[in-house]
Homo-oligomer: A and B are copies of this chain.
Amino acid sequence: MTDLNLLSAVEAARAMRVGEISAEDLARDCLNRIKDIDDTVQAWISLNPDYVMEQARQTDEHRRTGAPIGPLHGLPVAIKDIFDTLDYPTQYGTPLHAGRKTTSDATVVAMLRQAGAIIMGKTVTTEFAVLSPTSKTTNPHDPARTPGGSSSGSAAAVAAGMVPLALGTQTNGSVIRPASYCGVVGYKPTYGLVSRHRVLRTSRNLDQIGMFARTIEDAAMVGEAIIGFDAKDADTLLAPRPDLLAKTSEAPPMPPRYAYIKGPAWSQCDDDTHGAFAELTEAMGDRVEEVDLGSVYEEVLNWHRMVMDADMAKNLSDDYSRGADQISPVLCEMIERGRKVHAVDYNLAVDRIAMFAKAFTDMFEEFDAIITPAATGVAPLGLESTGNPACATLWTFAGMPAMTLPVLQGKSGMPMGVQMVAARGDDARLFRNASWFSTYMEGLADEA
């Protein structure tokens, strides 16, 4: 086999399990792909090919002993450079933490290793994982365009076939947006399902771990590997692990019905997006019904900003005190704004997180999932901005599980994601409905 780097994670895992390919073979093809195109894509900030091959050899040796192997056995995973890793530095995308070394892995990085994964390297993040214009990474579909951010390198690495899987984080739209821009699957689990221990904290209320893959099954597989209670993240939930992968291949009891929600960012979406979603929902006929959220949700962009600004002002205060001159003006402005937020307003906004999550519960008795744009348009030209996160804001704020599927295209031919959202805790159902939708879309395309 050649181009093993293009195998899905599920395919590669199966092939390694039965010995058709080795972890070394897979790692080598991934490294070759990186060598070929990373001068253009620039997805990586720390990558040591020797160390990667060493992990792969150890993985292969482990399998040869006949010992049980993990579900991610031999699969290379890219890690956004805000997760602590024992081997690679963790530099938060800022000169203020250049060369920062840590004494232990983030909980989820340790979980990946336990599942047999190979920690490929650290991917480019924007400064402190916020939306500032310092990502050097380009979009694999068009190097003149941004891959989105803040998980820029993780999204691009998966899209470019450098790795099958990558971890990112989302405090606003930092997984869903780059996944949409790069034409891959992005998945942000329910708030509280994945530990954030030893991951850069920008906002305890909003920070959420997410992942990138090229198929829904792959996202399910890595999701199952990192979901779990962690006493070191007080917000993780003591809940049974959802059976994402099993549900992905399970047919729904009846054909799902989707709620089409334009959402509070609709006015910020461009004509391209308006047109694509009008076509999509028309083609879906009875399978979809538009639901108007009402005006209370329009304020969510402001509430989210208030919480995020104030939390960042607190969590980045040491960095700001010692090196404001090395922080971008955009981020300085956010911190300054955050310092002025009053606790009363902040707490009223924080209270709305739980209110919103609860308010959507009823909707999911009538509908199986929400369909909404993943971004305000396709990846913008230029690297000065990583684009507009507003389409993800409400769902991040409410802590609901969200996924983007690369099923649409803009007029430019660039990928455009459809975001699917479920009720808090209903991640497995989200995967089942996303899988059904994906097959259904293939059917629509065949008809057309």
Contact = CB atoms under 8 A, between A and B. Distances in A.
Number of copies: 2
A310 B341 contact: no
Contacts of A313: 343-344
Contacts of A339: 342, 344
Nearest to A311: B347
B338 A340 contact: no
Interface string A234-273: 1000100000000000000000000000000000000000
A102 interface: no
Contacts of A238: 238
Contacts of A324: none
Contact of A314 (B234, B348, B354): B348
A346 interface: yes
Interface residues of A, number: 19
Contacts of A346: 343, 346-347
A48 interface: no
A313 B344 CA distance: 7
Given A314-B348, A347-B310, A347-B311, A341 B338 contact: no
Interface in A304-329: 310-311, 313-314, 317
A234 B354 CA distance: 10
Nearest to A351: B314
Nearest to A307: B343
Contacts of A343: 310, 313-314, 338, 341-343, 345-347
A168 B212 CA distance: 51
A251 B317 CA distance: 50
A340 B338 CA distance: 14
Choose among A310, A314, A341 the residue with the greatest number of B CB atoms under 10 Å from its CB.
A314
Contacts of A340: 342
A346 B344 CA distance: 10
A341 B354 CA distance: 23
A338 B347 CA distance: 12
A112 to B, nearest CB: 28
A351 to B, nearest CB: 8
A345 B238 CA distance: 30
Contacts of A344: 310, 313-314, 317, 338-339, 341
Contacts of A310: 342-344, 347
Contacts of A338: 343-344
Contacts of A341: 342-344
A314 B314 CA distance: 20
A168 B412 CA distance: 66
A403 to B, nearest CB: 26
Interface string A72-103: 00000000000000000000000000000000
A309 to B, nearest CB: 9
Interface of A: 234, 238, 310-311, 313-314, 317, 338-348, 354
Which 10 residue pairs across A and B have the least CB separation, nearest first? A343-B346, A310-B343, A341-B343, A314-B344, A314-B347, A313-B344, A343-B343, A339-B344, A310-B344, A314-B348
17 contacts: A234-B354, A310-B342, A310-B347, A311-B347, A313-B344, A314-B343, A314-B344, A338-B343, A339-B344, A341-B342, A341-B344, A342-B342, A343-B343, A343-B345, A343-B347, A346-B346, A346-B347
